[in-house]
Amino acid sequence: MRRMMMCVMVVVMLLVLAPMVMAGGVGLTAKIGTLGLGADLTVGMGDRANIRLGLNAFSFDMDVDDDEDTASGSGTSAEEINLELNLMTLAALVDWFPFGGSFRLTGGVMFNNNEVDLTAPNSSVELNNRDYSVTSLSGNVGFNSLAPYAGIGFGNAVDEDGHWTFAFDLGVMLQGDPDVTLTAVAADSSRQAQLDADIVKEIDDIDDDTEDISMYPVAMIGVGYRF
C-alpha cells in the first residue's frame, strides 16, 4: 500500500511540475549515498531557487547465524535470522541559493518507506532471556511515512554555465521513533502465552535501544546534467 501511495505521489508531482518545466531550466541528477541509489529531477524557479523531486531506493538481504549457544555446549540449536533492509524515499524539496552560487539551503518533506524485515522460520531463539523453539518468527521496524528534511548542499543542476554539474547533499530526515512489530509461533503450544509476553518485553527493549535513531543522516553525492 505504501509503495502504491508513493507511485501516486510521483505522478501527481510530475503533473504539477510539468508546466514549470516549460518555463525554467531542467536538470537530472544521479546520486548515491545513505538513502541508497537515486535520481533527482530539478526545475529552476529563478536565479536563487529550485524545486527538486527525488526518488531513492536500495535493498540488502543477509543471513545472521548465532552459534554462541551451540559452541558453548548447551545443546541449543544455532539461530539463523534473515534480515532484509529496504530503503525507499520520495523527496519533494526546495533549494535556495542565498549567495547566488552553488551553495544551497534545502528544506522539504520525504515520503519514507525505509524499513527492516526479520524472519526466522523453524529456529531456536532467545527472547527476554528465555529459549524457545519456534515454527516461525517475523518482525518489522518501520518509521513515519512523512518525514521533514533539512540540509545544506552544493551544486545547481540547472546552472546555465554548463551542462554537467556535481551535487552534494548533507542533512537529516526526521523519521520519528521506530515502529517495531514482532510475532512468533511456539513449537510447543503450551508455551505460546509466555512467548507472547516475552515478545512484548522484547519490543519494549528494542524501542529503548532504538529511540536515538529518530533522525536519519543523509549524505548523497552525484552528477547532474542540464537539458
Q: Which residue, 151, 45, 51, is CA-closest to 93?
A: 51
CA quadruple 70, 80, 130, 193: dihedral sign: negative
pLDDT at 77 over 50: no
CA distance 180 to 102: 40
Domain ranges, ordered by start, for the chain: 2-226
Burial annotation 183-195 (CB, 10 A radius, 16+ → b, else e) = ebebbeeeeeeeb
Q: Which DSSP symbol is given to 178?
A: -
Q: pLDDT, tens digit, for every residue of 12-30?
A: 555 555 555 545 589 999 9
2-226: what fold? Porin (2.40.160)
Query: With bands split at pLDDT 50, 70 and 90, how would you rate the model's confidence at 51?
Result: very high
- Out of 14-18, 108-112, 129-133, 180-184, give the one with best mean pLDDT: 108-112
CA distance 28 to 88: 19
Amino acid at 99: F
Q: Which residue, 5, 138, 134, 6, is CA-closest to 84?
A: 138
Distance of CA 117 to the CA centre of its chain: 12
Q: pLDDT, tens digit, for every residue of 169-203?
A: 999 999 998 899 999 999 999 999 999 999 999 89
pLDDT at 166 over 60: yes
